[in-house]
Amino acid sequence: MEGLSESVIEVGVAGLTLPGQSTSGDRHIVEPFSGGVLLAAIDGVGHGDEAAMAAEKACAILRAHSAEPVIALAERCHGDLRSTRGVVMSLAGVVNSAVAPQKAAQAILDGFSKGTDDALVLVARYQGCRTDGNRENNQ
Q: Looking at domain 23-93, does it have CATH number 3.60.40.10?
A: yes
Distances in whole angstroms, Cα of residue 55 to Cα of each of 27, 86, 88, 130: 6, 8, 9, 35
Tell me the range of 3-7, 54-58, 106-110 where mean pLDDT is highest: 54-58
Model confidence pLDDT, tens digit, residues 59-90: 999 999 998 988 899 999 999 999 999 999 98
Q: How far is 116 from 45, CA to CA, in rounded Å?
A: 24
Quote the pTM value.
Answer: 0.69
DSSP, residue by residue, 68-95: S-HHHHHHHHHHHTTTSS-EEEEEEEEE
Domain boundaries, the chain: 23-93, 96-139
Between CA 101 and CA 112 the distance in angstroms is 17
